[in-house]
A and B are shown apart, each in its own frame.
Chain A
Amino acid sequence: MLIYTSRRLLWTPVLLFVAGLFIFSLGSVAPGDPAELMAGQRADPEAIERIRERLGLDDPFLMQYMRYIADALKGDFGESYRYRGRDVFELLGPKLRVSLELNLVSYVVTLVIGLPLGFWAAMRQGTWKDPTMTTIMLLIYALPVFFTAPFLILVFALWLDWIPVSGWSGMFSTHAVLPAVTIGLPGAFVFMRFMRASTLDVLGQEYVRTAHGKGMGHMTVNRRHIARNALLPIITILGFSLAGLFGGSLIVELIYGIPGVSRLALEAVFQRDYPVLTALTLLGAGMLALANLVADIMYSVIDPRIRLRS
């Protein structure tokens, strides 16, 4: 247990360091001299030289990266090229929070719909209900959010007038409902499929037959023996499935007018504000690595087979 956990704990920083190097080097292949970009069009060479000096742009690449990481750990991700004098983290922080909240609610929607459906479908394997439900969920999964978002606004906000059209006022307000469903519902298919497969695995186990054989009630067997064991392998994919969420949420943020990172990130692409992009990607990678680490450790705590095997 201790060995397994400490190995994961040691590996994660290394992983992040290398991933950061990859991201940082992508940020540096951009054309143009950062100092010139920062100084603006008509800056005199002396001013540019001052900026170069201050940012250490003449140092070797690896040294620049080491300094960047050291600063990043202290919460300093450099200065935006576009919004001069503004700290990148200060720009990103509040928007990142909104995006995180949105993704979190969506994730809850995904899990709450996907997991029970997967269990439900597995228990009906062999009947028409199982493939029908799978197909319906796949249809929803494949439906691009470009359609779901305006469609849901049209129906629930304009026709039925239940929910405000757009805007954002925290993850617990009604504003969050439509965006969360738009992002979360398609993802439910993925979890439904995993849960279904994992439930089917458990259904064939001998302890399930034993439980039935000794006269346990169906509900008890379902809950205690089947659902609980079927949920175990799901934990391992909890972390990685977060990676895909971001793409969908960026579109949804735009369409619903949510003040998340979406607009800032796009602006940064078009206005060559590389520090913002680098910081955003690095923070995203950090959160993903952390989520994986937590999922791994949680799994090994819950399922002794994992930690004993290694």
Chain B
Amino acid sequence: MNRAGSSETARIDSPVLAEMEAPDSFLRHAWNQLRKRKLALFAVCVLAVLYTLGIFAPLVATHDYSETNLAKTEAAPDTENWLGTDRLGRDIFSRVVWGIQTTIILTVITILTASVFLGLALGMAAGYLRGAVDIITMRTGEVVAVVPDFLLVLIIAATVRPRIKEFGYWIEDNTPISGVISSGAVDYIVLGLAFLPLSWFGAMRLIRGQTLAIRDAPYVDAARSMGVGTPTILIRHILPNVITPLVVSVSFGMGAVALGEVIASFFGIGVQPPRPSLGVMIGDVTARTGSAAVETLRSHPEQLLSPIIVVWLMIFCWNILGDALNDILNPRAR
């Protein structure tokens, strides 16, 4: 019946009741609101499809990503190669799917360490403890923010990568662990390191702001006066309140880091072939020059468009989702 729907709206619209909602209904509240926005729902669906494809790449891919077929190069899409083949006769669909996986691994590593771990810990520490901790983290952030994003990626790729590669070889030589280099771990670590300085500060600043806003709330004061220790206050009272800015910044960060990976790999300083990456695919077919890119766009658009549309959708959908979550979860906007 329709009544159920209307009473639900009334419940959310009433500020008193909304505040009384138990923390465990937070996700349900977000999901209910999200469902009402068609565009955001579309974004969630697209991302779900893309991420499923990427995570299950070994099952979804119809071919090996590096298997060449010189008898069938630059073929148009058909039933065997769903998106056609590239210059070396490699299956484009399989390469795109594996490329998505590469992007997913990298974004998750970076966002987990930068936004979730560093952003959360430093943001709460700076906002709650203030004083020297606050000043040092904020000033450090300012220093990092003044270095142009991509130049930082370039310099790290040039200087830190060989070091990490040496370390990878050292591990292979001196421990029973093997396959460190061929797993692409070096690429992930280097890119992760390169994106780290770019991504932690944004999340940290948001979380710090939110922490500052609630650190003197009556219930936090009450907890303090009862002798509750700082770690407990941070986890029990501050953490649940800073989840919102964290979720929003993670959502925006996912798209940004995905694009960063693609750009770095396009230039040949990110993920290294034969590991598949959307950026490597784009770099391959365009040969990083305008004339080749235009030529590909004219003669074999599927070779250029397949990876590009995936990147496009990813960035678009993460932004739409971030916007929607910001509107839904932001207490000021609500």
Contacts and interface: CB of A to CB of B under 8 A. Distances in A.
B290 A153 contact: yes
Given A26-B159, A269-B154, A255 B147 contact: no
Contacts of A19: 143-144, 146-147
Interface string A21-51: 0110011111100000000000000000000
Interface string A156-200: 001000000110000000000000000000000000000000000
B262 interface: yes
Nearest to A277: B155
Contact of B158 (A30, A143, A165): A30
Interface in A252-310: 254-257, 265-266, 268-270, 272, 274, 277-278, 280-281, 284-285, 288-289, 292
B4 to A, nearest CB: 28
Nearest to B160: A29
Contacts of A207: none
B146 A289 contact: yes
Contact of A285 (B148, B288, B294, B312): B148
Contact of A26 (B160, B262, B319): B160
Given A251-B266, A269-B269, A277 B158 contact: yes
A138 B320 contact: yes
B147 A285 contact: yes
A216 interface: no
A266 B283 CA distance: 14
Interface string B125-153: 00000000000000100111111111111
B263 interface: yes
Interface string B294-306: 1011100000110
Given A150-B293, A255-B289, A281-B148, A29 B159 contact: yes
A266 B316 contact: no
A149 B293 contact: yes
A126 interface: no
A56 interface: no
B294 A150 contact: yes
Contacts of A151: 297
Nearest to A284: B148
A143 B159 contact: no
Given A138-B316, A144-B308, A277-B158, A150 B290 contact: yes
A266 B268 CA distance: 9
Interface in B261-281: 262-263, 266-269
A93 to B, nearest CB: 16
B290 A149 contact: yes
A281 B158 contact: no
A199 to B, nearest CB: 16
Contact of A31 (B148, B166, B260, B290): B166
A64 B149 CA distance: 25
A308 to B, nearest CB: 21
A38 to B, nearest CB: 16
Interface string B247-271: 0000000010001101100111100
B286 interface: yes
Nearest to A25: B159
B157 interface: yes
Interface stretch (A67-75, A217-225, A227-235, A242-250): A242-250
Contacts of A278: 155
B315 A142 contact: yes
B312 to A, nearest CB: 5
Contact of B266 (A146, A270, A288): A146
A16 interface: yes
B149 A266 contact: no
B312 A147 contact: yes
A139 interface: yes
A154 interface: yes
A139 B315 CA distance: 9
Given A138-B319, A243-B145, A247-B150, A255 B286 contact: yes
A120 interface: no
B254 to A, nearest CB: 12
B162 interface: yes
B282 A146 contact: yes
B156 interface: yes
Nearest to A134: B323
A151 B150 CA distance: 24
Contacts of B269: 266, 269
Nearest to B313: A142
Given A247-B149, A269-B154, A144 B316 contact: no
Contact of A281 (B147, B160, B286): B147
B39 interface: yes
Given A18-B143, A265-B154, A269-B157, 10 more contacts: A19-B144, A26-B155, A26-B156, A131-B39, A147-B304, A153-B290, A154-B297, A166-B291, A255-B289, A284-B147
Interface of B: 39, 139, 142-160, 162-163, 166, 255, 259-260, 262-263, 266-269, 282, 286, 288-291, 293-294, 296-298, 304-305, 308, 311-313, 315-316, 319-320
16 contacts: A15-B142, A16-B146, A31-B163, A31-B166, A131-B39, A142-B313, A150-B290, A243-B148, A246-B148, A255-B288, A255-B290, A269-B154, A272-B158, A277-B155, A277-B159, A292-B146
Interface of A: 15-16, 18-19, 22-23, 26-31, 131, 135, 138-139, 141-144, 146-147, 149-151, 153-154, 158, 165-166, 240, 243-244, 246-247, 250-251, 254-257, 265-266, 268-270, 272, 274, 277-278, 280-281, 284-285, 288-289, 292
